[in-house]
Amino acid sequence: MATWSAQAVEIMRWERLPLAVPLVVGQERIVFLDQNVRVGIPRSLNDKLRVQSIGGAIYLLAKETIEPTRLQLQNVQTGEIMLVDIAAMTAPKDQAALEPVKIIAGETAPTRYGTSKPALKATSRTSSAAVNTNDEEETEEDDAPPKGETPVPVVLTRYASQMLYAPLRTVEPVEGIIQVKLDRRADLSTLLPTLPVVSSALGSWQLDDYWVTAVKLRNQTTQRLSLDPRELMGDLVTATFQHNYLGAKGDATDTTTLYVVTRGHGIGQSVLPAIGQADPRVKQEADHER
């Protein structure tokens, strides 16, 4: 008799931003989409990655380590394309297998803040100077969504920027925002893997199910670097650069701040693992010996 063991499934929301799906060499990982898709992969991965797409499930098997790379998943019926960032690394023998991933459609209308008071209906009775107008205004309210609302990622990004660079007396208070503890061990080198920059977290704040992390970027070359959000990799909701370029190393403009909004967890769980990243337990022991 065959026995089956229950396995958790990691849920990811597709909100038109690349999703991070780490892989382990020699270990197959399944991605469920509930739709038939074609998988577009770079030629450089032809001998490194085995890909099979069957009935709404994609089976990914890395044969060797793979640098952060972007795959395109195209819906066969609608033509819609989803972006998935992968990276494959070797893992310790005692490390648990990665759970399957299920990609679902994200919310089209996220929670918003800064709601203005609903407008009153402009009916023939309230627009005229008839008797009992005041009573009608109190009972007749507009059912349409209120204007002036601000999406949570925008609220968090603005708040983080003010906390870092504006005088504290000018920071706009937002109910529900809390500062969260940063994981200083998080490796952010795969956030912008194509650029020679050093990335380090400055601070992080949370509102509802969203996190914003301010990341300092510093140029390591003597060349000016343009910053393009399309080069970012990871399971990110939004990303905003304080400036759109980095000056040469040593200039006053060689450093800027990136505001990254993630959902469901902080940035440490949203970026791809670095190739050859050491076992955290080994690193902790080394740090302790020092």
pLDDT in tens, 107-127: 644 555 654 444 433 333 333
User: Number of helices (H) and strands (E), helices first, in the chain?
Assistant: 4, 18
Q: Is the pLDDT of residue 16 over 60?
A: yes
Q: Per the structure, how many domains does the chain have?
A: 2
Q: Is 277 part of any domain?
A: no
By the 8 A CB rule, do 277 and 252 touch?
no
pLDDT for position 280: 45
- For residues 100 and 190, membership in a common domain is answered with no
My answer on whether 99 and 157 are in the same domain is no
When the pLDDT of each residue in the chain is averaged and rounded to a whole number, the result is 79
Taking residues 227-248, what's their average pLDDT? 92
- Amino acid, res. 280: P
Alpha helices in the chain (DSSP H): 124-127, 133-139, 152-165, 280-289
Separation CA 34–CA 67 (nearest Å): 28
Residues 6+ apart with CB under 8 A from 83: 17, 18, 19, 70, 71, 72, 73
β-partners of residue 225 are 246
Q: Report, as an integer, the average pLDDT of 243-267.
A: 93
Write down the pLDDT at residue 149: 72
Mean pLDDT, residues 209-237: 93
For residue 55, the domain's CATH number is 2.60.40.1080
**41-50, 192-201, 268-277, range with the lowest pLDDT:** 268-277
Do both 17 and 79 map to the same domain?
yes
Q: The domain containing residue 192 runs over which residues? A: 153-269
For residues 185 and 260, state if they share a domain: yes
pLDDT higher than 90, residue 212: yes
pLDDT for 132-170, tens place per residue? 434 444 444 444 444 447 899 999 999 999 888 887 777
pLDDT, residue 258, reads 95
pTM higher than 0.85, yes or no?
no
Predicted confidence band at 289 (pLDDT cuts at 50, 70, 90)? very low
Residues 6 or more apart from 142 whose CB is under 8 A from it?
Answer: 118, 119, 120, 121
Position 274 in a domain:
no
Locate 6 and state its tokens: 């229950």
